[in-house]
């Protein structure tokens, strides 16, 4: 009987051993696969363009302060930690943060710049005293694309973590971390006895390794089986990995707060969430607060329970002083300080939904949604946060002013505003709603409205591209016109309901004469006008109806921006782009988005067109711009108004920026606004606020300039120097010649050629400057 019982016990022991071995084997595989693979699903992060600083750059102090404020810099004379700046007269010192750009990592650095007369006159490295030719501030984080579990974390390495933070964490959570093997049996036994005696949980015996296992691998279930698995996995984790690897994982895994559906994990993200600082910028009292929250992030939430959180923080500080981590004399001083938590938590919801939507659409051409949510990508964009602020403010201010002037109910009008760089087609700001924080319908991208007269430059460019038939002074006929259609015949009308008879092509565009435009478009052919629109960048299918010549084509503002970017760049189309580069979580380049340029139209024809569009803003339908823009800011553009004054458009450009504004109503009712009384005002308000260069049209080498009578459409004879200089494509048809009304200095062809050569030289110089700007 005893032998049988012994055999039974041995059998049970063998079975238990096999079961334990199987469990250990399974847990071991789970640990190594998770820990050696991708430990976390990391959100993709989008960044704005970095502000580039260099001697000679135009930069107002106000603009720099706005940028530093967005980046959460603090004024401090000592500049002891990154993220601080100090102003001393015209000298501004900045202690920049370290940042890994797409092309290189830049350590934190103190720079000193001198601002004089609205530009940077000197830029030096404070440590070395050497001059700096170019310095980039770190870009603004503008959005994240979160994984399915909505966990948000900023990965930190233990080597980059302040030693005081890890010392404090181990002091409070696990003093013997570097001595134990993953579990502490005596501590577990003491905690068990204390809890049994109290009849509730009053003491924990878990090591930091066990806490990591519980958070990283296991559920929150309270059972003996889970506790056994926790202990086994802690032992296995310590067997496979170093103490520093385990501690680093804990620093990134610990739950430290909640922002709606977004869970805040790790000390790196918590330092941004509570203090808007990077982890290496935290003060000792801020570190103490975060370490104290490890015991219970919700219970010690400093925004919801500030007194409870302060009591916990002060206890941590006291223990730091007792342990010698802090000098005891500084502890009372730190305990008196406020929590220092930013009042409003930085939301995980982007402040710039319209621009982010455009970025995501471009990303989807190259990346799966799962990759964007899980792989920790860094997306470097063309976004300009200062320009975006100015665009949002311009739209909101002007719409409110118009509603007040016209006694409309508040929020009657809506609008959209998009802006890009002229030469590179980089989209810098997108406003799809007068309430820009709302992530609903994006009018800049998704609204399709008739264009009105903003389409007309495509009609006139189609003609000017045929210099053997048309030039800026070709006579068009603004007379009654009937066009047969499948239904009722179409009889286009001018806005003023009158006809203007024979009129030069240039004047027809400047004053936006509908009938003359339709007459010209029908001569050229609707298919040819559609072809020009496609060359300029309009990708939508356009049906060949005569009404398209007056803008009966429904397109979003972003499409109009592409069209006008091509015109502004002299006929060279650069596909609009929002992304410059994408890197993985290890900062390796995955993809660059280089500048691509193609010639879409004859530069000489575009130059002729642009001189007329500049005249539109002087004496034409956009003439009121002269009263709204700063003196000397030359621009070009075109107004657009649709039937019953439903849509108000203005599209235009300076030398460095292209912008399109739309004003209307969501119910498609009349606004009572023309392009000049609505959208033009939004556009002008924006251009008045931003640092933009005046238009500087440089003629191509095959352009000759002639003094002309722009009213009659004829040239003055060679003996005259009066009237308006009008460009013509060399070798093309020329208007008839009239004699002087006032004697002038003779102008010879050789003088014309010299002027063209000078203009060509200026054009080349401008091209070199633009090339250098691209690669700065």
Q: Give the active site residues.
A: 173, 453
Distance CA 184, CA 95 (A): 45
| 3-state SS assignment for residue 609 | helix
Instruction: Provide the β-strand partners of residue 598.
Output: 573
Residue with the two structure tokens 């308006």: 724
Closest listed residue to residue 458, CA positions, set 640, 647, 196, 255:
640
Task: Give the residues across from 115 on adjacent strands.
Answer: 120
Residue among 539, 542, 580 nearest 562 (CA): 539
Q: Determine which helix (DSSP H) or strand (DSSP E) holds 445, and give its type and residue range.
A: none
Q: Which residue has the tokens 């203009």?
A: 759
500 exposure class (CB count in 10 Å sphere: 0-12, 13-18, 19+): middle
**Angstrom distance (rounded) from CA 332 to CA 349:** 38
d(CA 235, CA 231): 6
Please answer whether residues 373 and 143 qualify as being in contact, where contact means their C-beta atoms are separated by less than 8 angstroms: no
Q: Is the dihedral of CA 95, 100, 103, 105 positive or negative?
A: positive
Chain-centroid distance of CA 620 in Å reads 34
506: left (phi > 0), else alpha (psi -120 to 50), else beta? alpha
Alpha helices in 556-658 (DSSP H): 557-568, 603-619, 625-628
CB 373 within 8 A of CB 148: yes
* φ and ψ of 474, to 5 deg: -55, 135
Q: Coil, helix or strand for 222? A: coil
Phi-psi region of 654 (alpha: psi -120 to 50; beta: other; left: phi over 0): beta
Asked if residue 578 lies in contact with residue 420, where contact means CB atoms within 8 angstroms, the answer is no
Give residues with Cβ within 8 angstroms of 239, minimum separation 6: 182
**Rounded CA separation 221/297 (Å):** 19
How far, in Å, CA of 258 to CA of 269, rounded? 11
Task: Judge whether 469 and 453 are in contact, CB under 8 Å.
Answer: no
Q: How far apart, in Å, do the first and last CA atoms of the chain sit?
A: 91
- State phi, psi for 28 to the nearest 5 degrees: -65, -45
The two most distant CA atoms of the chain are separated, in Å, by 139
Rounded Cα distance between 397 and 393, Å, is 6
What tokens appear for 264 in the block? 């805040």
Q: Which two tokens stand for residue 87?
A: 């102003």
Cα-based angle 454, 396, 666 (whole degrees, multiple of 5): 60
Residues 6+ apart with CB under 8 A from 45: 141, 143, 144, 376, 377, 378, 379
CA 101-341-160 angle, 5° bins: 35
């Amino acid at each position: 009987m005893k032998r049988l019982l012994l055999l039974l016990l041995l059998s049970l022991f063998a079975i238990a051993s096999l079961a334990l071995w199987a469990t250990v084997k399974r847990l071991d595989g789970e640990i190594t696969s998770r820990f050696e693979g991708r430990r976390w699903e990391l959100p993709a992060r989008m960044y704005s363009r970095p502000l580039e600083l260099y001697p000679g750059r135009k930069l107002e102090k106000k603009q720099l302060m706005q940028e530093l404020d967005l980046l959460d810099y603090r004024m401090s004379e000592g500049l002891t930690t990154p993220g601080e700046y100090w102003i001393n007269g015209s000298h501004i010192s900045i202690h920049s943060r370290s940042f890994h750009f797409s092309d290189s990592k830049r350590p934190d650095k103190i720079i000193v710049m001198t601002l004089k007369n609205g530009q940077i006159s000197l830029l030096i490295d404070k440590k070395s005293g050497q001059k700096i030719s170019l310095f980039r501030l770190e870009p603004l984080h503008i959005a994240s694309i979160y994984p399915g579990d909505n966990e948000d974390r900023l990965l930190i390495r233990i080597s980059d973590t302040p030693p005081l933070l890890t010392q404090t964490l181990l002091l409070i959570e696990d003093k013997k971390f570097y001595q134990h093997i993953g579990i502490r049996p005596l501590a577990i036994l003491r905690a068990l006895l204390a809890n049994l005696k109290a009849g509730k949980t009053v003491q924990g015996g878990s090591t930091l390794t066990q806490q990591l296992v519980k958070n990283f691998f296991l559920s929150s279930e309270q059972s003996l089986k889970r506790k056994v698995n926790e202990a086994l996995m802690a032992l296995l984790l310590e067997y496979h990995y170093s103490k520093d690897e385990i501690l680093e994982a804990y620093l990134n895994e610990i739950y430290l707060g909640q922002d709606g559906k977004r869970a805040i994990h790790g000390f790196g993200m918590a330092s941004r969430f509570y203090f808007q600082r990077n982890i290496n910028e935290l003060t000792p009292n801020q570190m103490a607060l975060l370490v104290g929250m490890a015991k219970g992030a919700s219970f010690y939430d400093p925004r919801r329970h500030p007194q409870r959180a302060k009591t916990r923080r002060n206890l941590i500080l006291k223990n730091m002083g007792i342990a010698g981590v802090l000098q005891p004399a500084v502890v009372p001083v730190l305990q008196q300080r406020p929590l220092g938590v930013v009042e409003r938590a930085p939301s995980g919801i982007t402040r710039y939904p319209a621009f982010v939507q455009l970025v995501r659409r471009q990303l989807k051409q190259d990346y799966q949604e799962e990759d964007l949510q899980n792989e920790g990508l860094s997306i470097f964009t063309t976004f300009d946060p200062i320009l975006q602020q100015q665009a949002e403010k311009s739209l909101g201010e002007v719409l409110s002013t118009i509603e007040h002037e016209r006694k409309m109910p508040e929020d009657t009008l809506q609008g959209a505003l998009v802006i890009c760089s002229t030469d590179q087609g980089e989209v810098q700001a997108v406003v799809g709603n007068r309430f820009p924080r709302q992530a609903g319908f994006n009018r800049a991208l998704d609204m399709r409205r008739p264009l009105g007269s903003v389409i007309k430059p495509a009609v006139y460019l189609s003609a000017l591209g045929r210099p053997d038939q048309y030039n800026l002074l070709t006579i068009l006929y603004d007379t009654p016109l009937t066009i047969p259609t499948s239904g009722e015949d179409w009889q286009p009308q001018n806005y003023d309901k009158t006809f203007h008879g024979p009129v030069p092509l240039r004047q027809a565009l400047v004053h936006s004469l509908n009938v003359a435009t339709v007459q010209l478009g029908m001569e050229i052919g609707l298919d040819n006008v559609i072809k020009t629109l496609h060359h300029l960048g309009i990708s939508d299918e356009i049906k060949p109806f005569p009404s398209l010549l007056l803008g009966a084509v429904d397109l979003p503002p972003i499409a109009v921006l592409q069209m006008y970017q091509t015109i502004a760049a002299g006929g060279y189309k650069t596909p609009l782009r929002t992304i410059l580069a994408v890197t993985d979580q290890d900062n390796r380049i995955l993809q660059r988005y280089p500048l691509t340029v193609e010639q879409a139209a004859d530069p000489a024809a575009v130059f002729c067109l642009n001189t007329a569009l500049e005249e539109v803003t002087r004496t034409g339908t956009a003439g009121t711009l002269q009263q709204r823009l700063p003196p000397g800011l030359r621009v070009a553009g075109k107004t657009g108004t649709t039937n019953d004054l439903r849509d108000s458009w203005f599209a235009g450009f300076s030398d460095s920026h292209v912008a399109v504004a739309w004003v209307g109503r969501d119910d498609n009712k009349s606004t009572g606004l023309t392009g000049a009384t609505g959208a033009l005002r939004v556009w002008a308000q924006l251009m008045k606020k931003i640092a933009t260069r005046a238009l500087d049209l440089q003629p191509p080498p095959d352009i000759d300039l002639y003094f002309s009578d722009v009213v009659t459409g004829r040239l003055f004879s060679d003996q005259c120097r009066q009237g308006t200089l009008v460009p013509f494509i060399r070798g093309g048809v020329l208007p008839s010649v009239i004699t002087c009304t006032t004697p002038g200095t003779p102008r010879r062809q050789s003088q014309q050629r010299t002027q063209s050569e000078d203009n060509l030289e200026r054009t080349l110089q401008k091209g070199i400057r633009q090339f250098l700007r691209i690669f700065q």
